[in-house]
Amino acid sequence: MDLYLARHGATEWSRNGRHTGRTDLPLLPEGEQEARTLAPALAAVGFRSAFVSDLGRARRTAELAGFPDATVTPLLREYDYGEYEGVTTEEIRRERPDWQLFRDGCPGGESPDEVYARAENALRVLISHEGPIVVFSHGHFLRALSVAWTQLGILAAERLALDTGTLSVLRDGDRGRVVQVWNGAVSGF
């Protein structure tokens, strides 16, 4: 079973480092191009199922990548940043110098344990379908999904970087559940 993870294309806030959880910003023109660039690599796989976050930036990415009919689920939404919505990590660390998202969470938003539990729930839904499966979602949530897949604790997600418009592959094979490809440029597929 392979799960292909596609992070949505660039938005204004993703480009300038603002936490973009529930604020539904459109893709920038370059984000739309990133989404279109995913299409040839994904078309070659022969997916049995496709899922997408209910937020517009992920849905638009799925559409431009060739999956306009992907199953929409709020389980794949981005982390709820609460009071840190629209704020950069640099701004947060002026008041909380040792702050880490996946350790400390966000006041008024989701806790790391809540995000991890949602990722586990999403995985139960995803693996109930035949693979390969493609998932269109968001940077921090896809990190949580990946560490839940490998049964690492949520804090491990802090060590993963994930660029917009990239592909990653989670595999369940001979070695068990592994991260086969991470933050892959589409040209590498």
pLDDT on residue 185: 81
Confidence of residue 188 (pLDDT cuts 50, 70, 90): low
> Where along the chain do its domains lie?
2-188
Has residue 118 got a pLDDT over 70?
Answer: yes
Per-residue CA distances from 96 to 91, 92, 99, 161 (Å): 9, 6, 5, 21
How many Å apart are CA 79 and CA 89, to the nearest integer? 14
Q: Which of 114, 142, 115 is nearest to 52 (CA)?
A: 142
How many Å apart are CA 135 and CA 97, to the nearest integer? 34
When pLDDT is averaged across residues 52-61 and rounded to a whole number, the result is 98
Per-residue CA distances from 4 to 8, 13, 49, 136, 189 (Å): 13, 24, 10, 9, 11
pLDDT digits (tens, 9 = 90+) for 72-103: 999 999 999 999 999 999 999 999 999 999 99
Has residue 183 got a pLDDT over 90?
Answer: yes
pLDDT on residue 28: 98
Residues serving a catalytic function are 8, 78
- Those residues whose C-beta lies under 8 Å from the C-beta of residue 99, and which sit 6 or more positions away, are 89, 92, 93
Confidence of residue 186 (pLDDT cuts 50, 70, 90): confident
When pLDDT is averaged across residues 50-68 and rounded to a whole number, the result is 98
Pick one of 3.60.15.10, 3.40.50.2300, 3.40.50.1240, 1.20.1250.20 as the CATH number of 2-188. Answer: 3.40.50.1240
pLDDT on residue 189: 60
pLDDT on residue 187: 66
pLDDT on residue 33: 97
